[in-house]
Amino acid sequence: MVEKILPGLFRIVLPLSGNPLREINSFVFTSNDRNLIVDTGMNREECLEAMEAGLDEIGVDLERTDILATHLHADHQGLVATLLREGSRAFMGERDVEVINGSGDYWTESGPMGQLAIKAGFPADVLRASLENHPGFKYGPQVPVDFVGLKDGETIGIGDYTLQVVLTPGHTDGHICLYEPNAKILLSGDHVLGDITPNLQAWGDDEDPLGDFLTSLARVDALDIDLCLPGHRALVENCSQRIAELVEHHRMRADEVVEILDQGPRNAYDTAGRMTWDIVAPSWDDFPIMQRWFATGESIAHIRYMEVQGRIERDFVDGQTLYRSVARP
């Protein structure tokens, strides 16, 4: 599906079958000189077919087209290697480029993420299946891409548009949004989404992605935005209102985590099993494996935030990190 949003700006909706996200938005800027594709879909046949059909309909020549990924997730950059032509450039936030380039043992049980999952209480079989089935592992680009790392405040000119890079860590450490001050549009990637909540994952003890995310939301909220173009689902008309809803959602989730730990120390996996989720399943053990993975990463993000706030402390017992709530200061 192709939709014209503004002169020289189109949306192509790409399907993500079997994924709770359902679809991803790719935004395409066209001009007489160069074109720019923002976010590509996964490295899957169905995404490539929809992308090629959409580009055809708009009349985009890939030989004159650069590609930008708002962040490193496979649904946003999985097809970059396939679509990129010689002499064209691929962009991503510089921090996410660093992470991708240093991700050698990322998908192994002995890598930093696997080790943290074991400390978080992940059963060994669930961990193995999670890493093997992770979309980042399955649907990322098959060959490495030489990304140009973008810094906060850099601009990219395309036709009548000047896109400003706004660094928005949270959903990923190097996530970027693109702001166009004259058109008052924000390409928000997975930083602001309309009818779903951007997933936050913490797989490092020194990270505070929820804290970063809230700071980045405030940053975007200070911009004058008429229309927000998110990475998934419907366009967001009232960005400021949506940001307020997201802040409130995470405040409630962070309180919920503390309430769960008020009842006694737990690891992150068990804490996630007691949190409120949209998924309909008879019990935590019946959650699809990947959803248990993302839920646990999300619970760690909220635990870490409250740990930084001084509301949660941790002990390391028998190879696992156990968290407990501490009285309000």
CA-derived radius of gyration, the chain: 20
Residue 195's CB is within 10 A of a number of other CB atoms, namely 10
- Using the contact rule CB under 5 A, the part of the chain among 115-123, 130-138, 185-193, 288-296 near Zn ion is 185-193
Residue 135's CB is within 10 A of a number of other CB atoms, namely 19
141-170 residues in contact with Zn ion (CB under 5 A) are: none
In the complex, minimum distance from the CB of residue 217 to Zn ion, in angstroms, rounded to a whole number: 15
Residue nearest to Zn ion (CB): 73
Query: x/- site string to Zn ion, residues 4 to 43, per CB under 5 A?
Result: ----------------------------------------
Q: Residue 191, interface with Zn ion (CB under 5 A)? A: no
Contact status, residue 261 vs residue 312, Cβ threshold 8 Å: yes
Residue nearer to Zn ion on the CB measure, 73 or 250:
73
Q: Residue 134, interface with Zn ion (CB under 5 A)? A: no
- Using the contact rule CB under 5 A, the part of the chain among 66-74, 141-149, 269-277, 282-290 near Zn ion is 66-74
CA distance 9 to 284: 43
Query: By rule CB under 5 A, what count of residues binds Zn ion?
Result: 2
- Using the contact rule CB under 5 A, the part of the chain among 3-11, 90-98, 183-191, 305-313 near Zn ion is 183-191
In the complex, minimum distance from the CB of residue 281 to Zn ion, in angstroms, rounded to a whole number: 23
Residues 6+ apart with CB under 8 A from 145: 77, 80, 81, 84, 90
- Using the contact rule CB under 5 A, the part of the chain among 5-13, 112-120, 189-197, 288-296 near Zn ion is 189-197
208-247 residues in contact with Zn ion (CB under 5 A) are: none
Residue nearer to Zn ion on the CB measure, 24 or 260:
24
| Closest C-alpha among 66, 56, 71, 59 to residue 24 | 71
In the complex, minimum distance from the CB of residue 228 to Zn ion, in angstroms, rounded to a whole number: 16
Contact status, residue 289 vs residue 133, Cβ threshold 8 Å: yes
Q: How far is CA 205 from the centre of its chain?
A: 19
In the complex, minimum distance from the CB of residue 151 to Zn ion, in angstroms, rounded to a whole number: 20
In the complex, minimum distance from the CB of residue 260 to Zn ion, in angstroms, rounded to a whole number: 26
Residue nearer to Zn ion on the CB measure, 168 or 299:
168
Residue from 25, 36, 54, 73 touching Zn ion (CB under 5 A): that is 73
Q: Residue 190, interface with Zn ion (CB under 5 A)? A: yes
- Torsion angles phi and psi, residue 271, rounded to 5: -65, -45
Residues 6+ apart with CB under 8 A from 257: 271, 275, 299, 302, 303, 306, 312
Q: Rounded to whole angstroms, what are the CA distances from 145 to 81, 131, 135?
A: 6, 22, 18
Please work out, in degrees rounded to the nearest 5, the angle formed at the alpha carbon of residue 246 by the alpha carbons of 306 and 185.
Answer: 135
Secondary structure of residue 73 in the 3-state scheme: coil
Residue nearer to Zn ion on the CB measure, 42 or 51:
42
Residues that bind Zn ion (CB under 5 A): 73, 190
